[in-house]
Structure 1
Amino acid sequence: MNSHKNARLTFEGRKLLINRIASQGLMPAAEAAGISPACARKWQRRFEQEGQQGLLDRSCRPHRTRCSIDEALAARIQALRRDRTPIRRIACVVGRSPATISRFLATVGLSSLKALEPIVPALRYEREAPGELLHMDTKTLGRIEREGHRINGDRTTRVRGAGWEFAHVAIDDHSRVGFVQMHPDEKKPSAVQFLLAAVAHYQSLGVTIKRLITDNGSAYRSRLFAKTCQALGIKHTFTRPYRPQTNGKAERFIQTCLREWAYGRAWAHSSERTAWLPAFLAYYNARRPHSALGYKPPASRLGQTNLLQLNT
């Protein structure tokens, strides 16, 4: 430990003090060192008990305090916490302060209730070939009439009453090749129209869609959508309710579209944003690195024969 700036004695000064006590006596040695006789007696007693090791600085923290937690109390606190008992209630039960309980729980990693819940391992899957599974979803986008608060940061310039438009998205599970179309709504006629366009788009790339997964939206649950899937020879499955992770590839693709296309720059009008959609899809599918594909573009999993079609 380092001596504080006002310390009268250092380790060498204490050794000199012990030598003076032996030759001159306690009172003259204390007076010569500029300390009280009680302080000199303390260092003499430590030297007699521990030798020169006793003249070193030591922490002034007491060895025991009434707020210390022994093994039995520690086990009791952990058992109460694992029963999801709040910290203040544990403090009342065991007779310690909430601060003491909080510090102890932090040392054992139980300060947050999330630590009591086992982490659900991520269930990741990927189909072996393109077309084995197609993910579909929709995203509501605000219609653009002029520059709004997303660009200039001024919420007083918000455009009210502009309305909404809907991006219907599809992404292949194996290759991650994406397809997006804009529609005025997300009703069943628009969903069916997008499904037909998506199947035709992937067919032009040499990919035959065999299976489709969507959420439980009313358009996807409609009889018209079911009959269309049956006519196309596509098996339609649904995600678990309130479990968007099941359709995670579509959700991730939507976030990329929002950041890099829909809200990635300032658009003068919605028609301008829609006009740039084919260029964004060509970049995403043919040139943009994808982390799940070893930082290669989705076109790398379709073969070189489809590269030109993805760039158009």
Structure 2
Amino acid sequence: MSHRNARLTVIGRRLLVERVVSGRPVAHVAAEMGISRATAHKWVRRWRSEGEAGLHDRSSRPRTTPHRTPVAVEARVCDLRRARKLGPARIGPVLGMPASTVHRILTRCSLHRLAWIDRPTGTVIRRYEREHPGELIHVDVKKLGRIPDGGGHKVLGRQAGRETKTGVGFDYVHSAVDDHSRLAYSEIHADEKVATCAGFLTRAAAFFRSHGITRIERVLTDNAAWAYRKGLAWKSALADLGAAGKLTRAYRPQTNGKVERFNRTLLDEWAYLRPYTSNDERTEALADFLHTYNHHRCHTALGGKPPISRVNNAAGQYT
């Protein structure tokens, strides 16, 4: 890997080769570029044997590691991690190993973060992503307590807020997230009945169409709500879109993880972002959050880009 004071980068190596190929002596070119003749010969030799690819840096990782922890010991470390959810500081004394070595083993096996492990089974959660926008839409509903006029406990304090909150009811935030691009759409309603869910799906599809996702193939929901499992209006809305309805396995929210993760972001960056003095104030702030999320918020799963960028990149290919 080239460092900041390196004499040769890929461009410099290419220039070196061009000068040598033009007929100039390697020693003269090496002196001009401030490198040794051995180094110059090395890059010319690599270029002649491998072509352009030979001018790029190679991995410095050794072919073999004689002192690597035995496979049987690594398996024992992984078994303790999966079965007992122990960390390096506790696994190390059990097996007589340094905690740093245990951590390297867990990292190598993608077990160093408990959030990546399914707690009941201990298996690594398999992340997936559909190939193009519209192939799969995740839908879910988040239930939030309404904010009384004048504010709740975050504005008035715990005791006063509890007294004002009596009987204010709940808001139901319906959300739809595209699996490939993470483009999101949300609405706030007073319930999660069949007609409400069906109407939301129709409007969500119109939103996705306005952003270049012209076809929705599948809609994934959890099986908690009756509307998703038995509702005739919901099935009719799916038929109008030409989409298939899919349900997650019971007690497996990971399957619908895209919208579940969006709900968490929704709470952190909108619902609980600041104290609101009324329910209407919080409702009005939803539109600004959605615009920021879709057009400006960097997404780690998208290489640090917002969802709209992936939609724009793929719209011409999959419409």
Shorter-chain TM band? 0.5 to 0.7
Q: Choose the corresponding residue for 2:222, options 205, 211, 215.
A: 215
**Matched residue, 2:212:** 206
Q: Choose the corresponding residue for 2:309, options 284, 300, 310.
A: 300
The aligned runs of 1:229-248 (5 Å cut-off) are: 229-248=238-257
Please report how far the alpha carbon of residue 227 of structure 1 lies from its aligned counterpart in structure 2 after TM superposition: 2.1
Q: Counterpart of 1:223 in structure 2: which amino acid?
A: L
Q: Counterpart of 2:145 in structure 1: which amino acid?
A: G
**Matched residue, 2:152:** 148
Please report how far the alpha carbon of residue 256 of structure 1 lies from its aligned counterpart in structure 2 after TM superposition: 0.4
The aligned runs of 1:78-227 (5 Å cut-off) are: 107-108=93-94, 119-145=122-148, 146-151=150-155, 153-158=157-162, 159-207=165-213, 208-216=215-223, 217-221=225-229, 222-227=231-236
**Matched residue, 1:277:** 286
RMSD: 3.1
Q: Following the alignment from structure 2 to structure 1, what is the Cα–Cα distance between the partners of residues 303 and 314?
A: 20
User: Is the Cα contact below 8 Å between 2:155 and 2:277 reproduced in 1?
Assistant: no
Please report how far the alpha carbon of residue 148 of structure 1 lies from its aligned counterpart in structure 2 after TM superposition: 1.7
Q: Following the alignment from structure 2 to structure 1, what is the Cα–Cα distance between the partners of residues 91 and 188?
A: 52
Deviates more, 1:242-251 or 1:260-269: 260-269
Please report how far the alpha carbon of residue 109 of structure 1 lies from its aligned counterpart in structure 2 after TM superposition: 6.0
Q: Encode CA deviations 1:68-103: one digit per residue, 9 max, x unaligned.
A: xxxxxxxxxxxxx9xx9xxxxxxxxxxxxxxxxxxx
Q: CA 1:233/1:164 → structure 2, altered by over 3 Å: closer, same or farther?
A: same
Q: Following the alignment from structure 2 to structure 1, what is the Cα–Cα distance between the partners of residues 141 and 91?
A: 44
Please report how far the alpha carbon of residue 268 of structure 1 lies from its aligned counterpart in structure 2 after TM superposition: 1.6
Q: Which has the larger radius of gyration?
A: 1
**Matched residue, 1:258:** 267
What SS does the corresponding residue of 1:206 show, helix, strand or coil?
coil
**Matched residue, 2:67:** none
Deviates more, 1:245-254 or 1:147-156: 147-156
Q: CA 1:105/1:173 → structure 2, altered by over 3 Å: closer, same or farther?
A: closer
User: Is the Cα contact below 8 Å between 2:136 and 2:216 reproduced in 1?
Assistant: yes
Structure 2 length-normalised TM? 0.59
Please report how far the alpha carbon of residue 223 of structure 1 lies from its aligned counterpart in structure 2 after TM superposition: 2.1
Q: Following the alignment from structure 1 to structure 2, what is the Cα–Cα distance between the partners of residues 153 and 135?
A: 37
Q: CA 1:140/1:118 → structure 2, altered by over 3 Å: closer, same or farther?
A: closer
Q: CA 1:271/1:305 → structure 2, altered by over 3 Å: closer, same or farther?
A: farther
Q: Following the alignment from structure 2 to structure 1, what is the Cα–Cα distance between the partners of residues 140 and 258?
A: 10
User: Is the Cα contact below 8 Å between 2:295 and 2:307 reproduced in 1?
Assistant: yes
What SS does the corresponding residue of 1:209 show, helix, strand or coil?
coil
Q: Following the alignment from structure 1 to structure 2, what is the Cα–Cα distance between the partners of residues 235 and 305?
A: 22
List runs of 5+ in structure 1 lacking aligned partners. 1-80, 85-103, 307-312
Q: CA 1:178/1:265 → structure 2, altered by over 3 Å: closer, same or farther?
A: same
What SS does the corresponding residue of 2:192 show, helix, strand or coil?
coil
* Identity level (%): 44
Q: Following the alignment from structure 2 to structure 1, what is the Cα–Cα distance between the partners of residues 168 and 238?
A: 34
Q: Following the alignment from structure 1 to structure 2, what is the Cα–Cα distance between the partners of residues 174 and 105?
A: 38
Please report how far the alpha carbon of residue 151 of structure 1 lies from its aligned counterpart in structure 2 after TM superposition: 4.6
Please report how far the alpha carbon of residue 153 of structure 1 lies from its aligned counterpart in structure 2 after TM superposition: 4.8
Q: Counterpart of 1:212 in structure 2: which amino acid?
A: V
